[in-house]
Amino acid sequence: MTTLARAAVLESAGEAAVIRELELAEPREGEVRIRMLAAGVCHSDLHVRDGDWERPTPIVMGHEGAGVVEAVGPGVTTHRVGQLVALSWLVPCGTCRSCVQGRTWACPDSPSYRHTLPDGATAFRTPGGEPVRSYCAIATMAEASVVSAAAAIVMPDGTDPAVAALIGCCVTTGVGAVLKTAAVPPGASVAVVGLGGVGLSCVMGAAVAGAARIVAIDRVASKLDAARGVGATDGLLAGDDPDATVAALRDLTDGGPDFVFEAIGRAPTAELAIAALPQGGTAVLVGMTPLGDRASFDVYPLVDGSRRILGSNYGFAEPAIDFPRYAAWALEGRLPVERLIDRWIELDGLEDAFAAMRRGEHTRQVITFG
Ligand code: APR
Ligand code: ZN
């Protein structure tokens, strides 16, 4: 029996995503079928849609989602029908140098990056039989998806599906950048540049870490209020002059914050994050720029002041450990993830959501499936 699923399909980068009804293969050995409940719209989806990063097409979009297990493939014992799962956009290969050294989040050979199931098969095809890939092998912007069981992380009872969806990307990326990549200690001063789902998750992570000062920076004033609502102690409206932002940030943090997180993905704000550092300070680059973008910094003060620049992919995620942990913290109220969501849309509202994101209008827009 073939399952039909409506899905947001990118047929060619730079063009609007279109909603198509596709055929979904049955789950095979090691695979599960997920009935999607919620999918977040992340800036990385916009990068893909706009062609900032080269990705194969046609492809079903979305990499931040959660749903229920609807069917399991032959021999699958790790999952049961009816379980709520958050989907991981990176299933490490397990054998490359990064994986062997225990840095699975840095795996370059993940089948997820081929946007197919591990053996190269595609879960979706058009009614005419043309294969359609799944973005990061999970394709969350579809009513249903067939994924590797390893990508489907079972959530604790009582977890809100939309919260689970956000744990799949922005929460793990931002909270993990603070707690795992940077290991921010209690009492530190922190600044976060860019307050979308990723930046607000950095703010939440800094609050969990016990940072004494959390300065939230954006060019959109409403984002500063959103950040205060999830733990920021100060808001700083960024204007067109980065030097003025750096000066204001230094004033607020006794000469510069111990840690600055860049959560936009722009070279100028990466440079701002590095320029704002005091002696011994650390800049953590979390936002992903278009491919090929370059940034520069003054070398002498970096060395002389023992400053550090860290890259953080997916918050150093070990999804099977981190997703349930972050979900438990959300249930306890330590991570107020639900406050990140400020707009609910349906699948056919995706292009409108992208337009709003370009204007910096929402904290997190979430697709629900009716
Ligand atoms: N100065 C200050 N804030 C800015 C600037 C700027 N020059 N440009 C953009 N912003 C703000 C926007 O107003 C918005 O609040 O940055 C925020 C970015 O948020 P989103 O577009 O919602 O992005 P998000 O999904 O959080 O992703 C951020 O992380 O994973 C990566 O690819 C992703 O690079 C992206 C980044
Ligand atoms: Zn994302």
Pocket lining: 174 vs ligand 1, CB cutoff 6 Å: no
* Residues with a beta carbon under 5 angstroms from ion ligand 2: 42, 44, 169
Question: Distance between CA atoms of 255 and 260, rounded to whole angstroms?
Answer: 13
- CA-nearest of 212, 169, 177 to 193 is 177
pLDDT tens for each residue of 156-183: 999 999 999 999 999 999 999 999 999 9
Confidence of residue 2 (pLDDT cuts 50, 70, 90): confident
Residue 124 sits at φ, ψ, to 5 deg, of: -105, 150
The CA 33 to ligand 1 mean position distance, Å, reads: 32
pLDDT exceeds 90 at position 1:
no
The structure tokens 């029996």 sit at: 1
Mean pLDDT of 55-67: 97
Report the chain's mean pLDDT, rounded to a whole number: 97
CA angle 14, 6, 154 (to 5 degrees): 100
Ligand lying nearest the CA atom of residue 192: 1
**What ligand is nearest to the CA atom of residue 263?**
1
Mode of pairing for the β-strands spanning 124-125 and 131-134: antiparallel
Counting atoms of ligand 1 from 1, which one is nearest the CA of 199? 26
For ligand 1, is residue 197 a contact (CB within 6 Å)? yes
Pairwise CA distance, residues 353 & 332, whole Å: 30
Confidence of residue 92 (pLDDT cuts 50, 70, 90): very high
How many angstroms separate the alpha carbon of residue 354 from the centre of ligand 2?
A: 13
Q: Provide the 8-state DSSP code for 341.
A: E
The ligand 1 atom at the shortest distance from the C-alpha of residue 268 is: 7
Q: Place 370 in a pLDDT band, splitting at 50, 70 and 90.
A: confident
Tokens describing residue 298: 């003054």
Rounded Cα distance between 332 and 84, Å, is 18
- How confident is the model over 121-147, as pLDDT tens digits? 999 999 999 999 999 999 999 999 999
> Is the minimum distance from the CB of 322 to ligand 1 under 6 angstroms?
no
pLDDT digits (tens, 9 = 90+) for 110-124: 999 999 999 999 999
Encode pLDDT of 289-309 as tens digits.
999 999 999 999 999 999 999
For the chain, give the percent of residues with pLDDT over 70.
100
- Partner residues linked to 309 by β-bridges: 283
> Could you tell me the distance, in angstroms and rounded to a whole number, from the CA of residue 319 to the centre of ligand 2?
14
Q: What are the structural domains of the chain?
A: 3-168+316-368 (3.90.180.10), 183-311 (3.40.50.720)
